[in-house]
Structure 1
Amino acid sequence: MLFQVGGQGTRPTFFEMAAAQQLPASLRAALTYSIGVLALRRPFLHKVLDYDDEFFALLMMVLETHSLRTTDASFSESLYGLRRRAVKITPSKNAPNMDSGDMLRHSGLEKHQRVLSVAFLVVLPYFKSKLHSIYNKEREAILQASLWGEADTALDDAGYFQVGGEFSHPPREGSDSEPSRVARFRKRITAIIGVCYPWIHATNEGLSFAYQLLYLLDATGFYTPALHVLGVHVCRATGQELMDTSSRISRIRSRERERLRGPPWLKALQRALLSCMYTTLDYAQTGLIAAVFFFKMMEWWYQSAEERMSAPTVYPPPPPPPPPKVAEDGIPLPPDRTICPLCSEKRANPSVVAVSGFVFCYACIFKYISQYKRCPVTLMPATIDQIRRLFHDV
């Protein structure tokens, strides 16, 4: 463990691996937040938010494929100076016993390992996100049904909509059985996902935690189960490897330019497109992270000014409503405001009726409302619960 914290040798520390693994999730959250803020002024960006899983999966597919092809590392691993190496076990020539003489030898990634790496880095997280979304919707539907019961509008087995106890035919756009079959099939798939996903998620998280704990304790060289399945170790890139990366990228791009076919104008157009693509990919790592950081900084910088500009105008409070009128058959009000209208004496234990606002003696108004269930002045319906004691008489 101390070796892992110290960060010596070619083996990455636990913290480096954790940071590299958490970078895609943090990057997605930052991009989603940035696009959401920009969509407030550019409504067409809401379409990107509606398909955020597909948009981010496509972006990571391009970045991960390019990174694995050129640097033998994922997008986040290359940012931290890490490289993926295939693990091969070679028996020692000196030791006759293979178990005690086996040695680990690292080599570059093979083609199928790069393809599988993209699948583990992009495809599986995409399906996991989709399953998580379906599971959350199913759980919310079950919770809503348990709290509020079934909805007022439901489709029974005979194909009728039940609305408020009455049945009506649903709109028909063709075959009657086909939509119901598709709906039943989707409902069954959703129910299966709702039952199986918690176990799949718990198993995945448990395996990941076990591998990370073993990696921290220096008991295994694989940080995740995916790396173990691929037979790949993540190592720190040496200085020579970092220098060889640029020459390797140059050779790959030279071969791609040599494969161009067609008339001169078409070759020139293809070279220009390749140059734009190469420039975009070269600066994708630093540019993408720097853009998100710059956007967050600018948002913080102008947040106070925007809040002042967008703050609603503070209007004066509206005038109080007019007092209720005295009913024709009600008890008239005495000229002195300190006199109780019921007993025509100075108020004792003044209490107000909440529905009308008039003040009486507590004993008088309690007895009157208990008997007549109304205010004696306005004749508005009232109960004894609407009597409020006043500790300062006006």
Structure 2
Amino acid sequence: MLFQVGGQGTRPTFFEMAAAQQLPSSLRAALTYSLGVFALRRPFIHKILDYEDEFFALLMLVLETHSLRTTDASFAESLYGLRRRGVKIKLKKSNFTCRFSPCKPSGRLNEECFICYILQVVLPYLKSKLQSIYNKEREATLQASLWGDSDERFDGYIGGSNNSFGSGDSSDIEASARARWIKRLQKTVGACYPWLHAGTEGLSFAYQLLYLLDATGFYSQGLHALGIHVCRATGQELMDTSSRISKIRSRERERLRGSPWLKAIQGGLLSCAYAVLDYAQTGLIAAVFFFKMMEWWYQSAEERMSAPTVYPPPPPPPPPKVAKEGIPLPPDRTLCPLCLQKRANPSVLAVSGFVFCYTCIFKYASQYKRCPVTLMPATVDQIRRLFHDV
């Protein structure tokens, strides 16, 4: 069940369905990143990023319309070679027949496709908007808890300005009422959205778990509501899809009206639109791969350019000078400057670097709080034991 990746049978594996479901979100993230890269050179692209939800919903509407009209599947499902089939239970027989026809004989979409649009385009768009409103409400709540409500801090100033200018204008009253209504709506969304999100995600997880355990043939609650099973496309279905696409396009070319040059222009535009739609799947995936490769290329180049150069270590600082009032150093470097005997338990004073007997320097630093040679301030905490004498 878990390793049915070879494509045997008509039932898709859990991994195929999960990949098809995650494709729109991955595609959106890649497109947002690509537009952000272009916006660094072309600032007017920021206008598209300001309406990111609307732009992506319009793009998915075009792709889903073309995919449902031609392949009997959504855009992500057709990319993985899957097809949708409606489940109709027969009373006389114990088996079921699969049939799903998103288009009428005239090439127009039926009511099932409009429900698919609601499930795949409208609901994700509304979910994204609710998520953004919820995030803004959380930020406002956090800011109010830390710094206080901005409306309360400026109430006295606003009230004073209204009193100085006389009676309030009707437009100001309407604006304030509208602002209160929007704020109330944001608070409602902030309170209800977590429960709604948890409920939908929990239901989706339950369907996915049941599908993984072969307890149901529906991967999501939307497919269950439509009564649609997702199956692998056979060779005959692929041939039927190609013939259906050619019939629809020939019928659309026959409906062209006007002079010959106008028909030629319209035919060229249709051919360009068909080419874009035919290669939209591979083109989008190739674009994502291309931008990711360019990101890696430029990132590695910047890392190479900004890599720190290896320089030789700097020379050590000069030794501290011996103070005139300090203890003079003995000519033999192995003797302790304090007791003038062979050093026992040699220890260095970190502030000056001179080596003494541990007992001698400990007593001197405890009493005078300084180095005996340089007279620099020092404490017993700056004494370090040496395991090899110099």
TM-score norm. by structure 2 comes to 0.71
CA distance in structure 2 between the aligned counterparts of 1:161 and 1:155, rounded to whole angstroms: 11
Equivalent residue, structure 2, for 1:31? 31
Q: Which amino acid aligns with 1:106?
A: R
Q: Does 1:273 align with 2:269?
A: yes
Q: Which moved more, 1:211-220 or 1:106-115?
A: 106-115
1:44 match: 43
| Backbone CA RMSD of aligned residues | 4.7
Contact 2:85 2:98 survives alignment (8 Å): no
Where do residues 55-94 of structure 1 align in structure 2 (5 Å cutoff)? 55-90=55-90, 92=91
Match of 1:108 in 2: 101
On the 8 A contact 2:83/2:230 being kept in 1, the answer is yes
SS in 1 for 2:257: coil
Q: Give how far 1:3 is off.
A: 8.7
Report the Cα distance in structure 2 between the residues aligned to 1:280 and 1:243, rounded to whole angstroms: 21
Output the CA distance in 2 between the equivalents of 1:259 and 1:161: 68
Aligned to 2:176: 180
Equivalent of 1:227, from 223, 227, 243? 223
Q: Quote the residue 1:255 is aligned against.
A: 251
What is the SS of the residue equivalent to 2:203? helix
- TM-superposed deviation, 1:50: 2.1
Quick one: structure 1 residues 29 and 43, their matched pair in 2 at CA, closer, same or farther if it must change by over 3 Å?
Answer: same
Q: For the structure 1 residues 242 and 284, does the alpha-carbon distance in structure 2 shift closer, same or farther, using more than 3 Å as the test?
A: same
Could you tell me how far apart the structure 2 residues matched to 1:215 and 1:130 are?
29
Give, as a single letter, the amino acid of the residue that structure 2 aligns with 1:60: M
CA contact (8 A) 1:6 1:13 kept: no
2:135 aligns to what? 136
Match of 2:234 among 229, 234, 238: 238
> Taking structure 1 as reference, are residues 27 and 2 closer, same or farther at Cα in structure 2, changes over 3 Å only?
closer
Secondary structure of residue in 1 paired with 2:206: helix
* 1:26 partner SS: helix
SS where residue 99 of structure 2 aligns?
A: strand
Q: Residue 333 of structure 1 corresponds to which residue in structure 2?
A: none
Which ranges in structure 2 are unaligned for 5 or more consecutive residues? 103-108, 311-390
CA 219–65 in structure 1, closer or farther in 2 if over 3 Å, else same: same
Matched, 1:118 2:110: no
Partner amino acid, structure 1, of 2:61: M
- Residue 298 of structure 1 deviates from its aligned partner by 2.8
Distance 1:187 1:83, change over 3 A: same
- CA deviation string 1:73-100 (max 9, x = no partner): 111100110001112122x4x56xxxxx
Shift of 1:305: 1.9
CA distance, structure 1, for counterparts of residue 286 and residue 233 of structure 2: 23
Which runs of 5 or more structure 1 residues have no equivalent in the other structure?
96-100, 315-394
Residue of structure 2 equivalent to 1:381:
none
In 2: Cα distance, 1:118 partner to 1:279 partner = 23
Provide closer, same or farther for how the CA distance between residues 235 and 45 of structure 1 changes in structure 2, counting only shifts above 3 A: farther
1:302: how far off? Answer: 3.5
1:295 aligns with 291
Give the equivalent residue in structure 2 for 1:10: 10
Whether the 8 Å CA contact 1:85–1:233 is kept in 2: the answer is: yes
Task: Specify the code of the residue in structure 1 equivalent to 2:211.
Answer: Y
Q: Does the 8 Å CA contact 1:64/1:74 hold for their aligned counterparts?
A: yes
The answer (yes or no) to whether the contact 2:71–2:83 under 8 Å persists in 1 is yes
Check whether the contact 2:207–2:221 (CA below 8 A) recurs between aligned residues.
yes
TM-score normalized with structure 1 length: 0.70
- Alignment partner, residue 284 of structure 1: 280
Superposed, 1:153-172 pairs within 5 Å as 160=155, 162=157, 168-169=160-161
Q: CA shift at 1:8, angstroms?
A: 2.6
Aligned residues: 368
**Which residue in 1 is equivalent to 2:22?**
22
Q: Find the counterpart in structure 1 of residue 317 from structure 2.
A: none
1:135-194 Cα offsets, whole Å, 9 max, x none, are 11111221222xxx464x9665898455xxx97538x99622111111101100000000
Q: Residue 336 of structure 2 aligns with which residue?
A: none
Question: Per-residue deviation at 1:133?
Answer: 1.0
Q: Is the 8 A contact 1:131 1:197 kept in 2?
A: yes
Contact conserved, 2:12 with 2:232, CA < 8 A, in 1?
yes
- Secondary structure in structure 2 of the residue aligned to 1:275: helix
Distance 1:169 1:264 in 2: 69
- AA matched with 1:79: L
1:51 CA displacement: 2.0
Q: Distance in 2 between matches of 1:266 and 1:273?
A: 11
2:96 alignment partner AA: M
Preserved contact between residue 86 and residue 232 of structure 1 (Cα < 8 Å): yes
- Does the 8 A contact of 1:72 with 1:84 survive in 2? yes
The 3 A distance-change label for structure 1 pair 311 and 141 is: farther
In structure 1, what is the Cα distance between the partners aligned to 2:152 and 2:300? 57
1:391 maps to none
Letter in 2 for 1:15: F
The answer to whether the Cα contact below 8 Å between 1:86 and 1:231 also exists between their aligned partners in 2 is yes
1:252/1:40 CA distance change after superposition, 3 Å: closer
Q: Within 1, Cα distance between the matches of 2:297 and 2:150?
A: 53
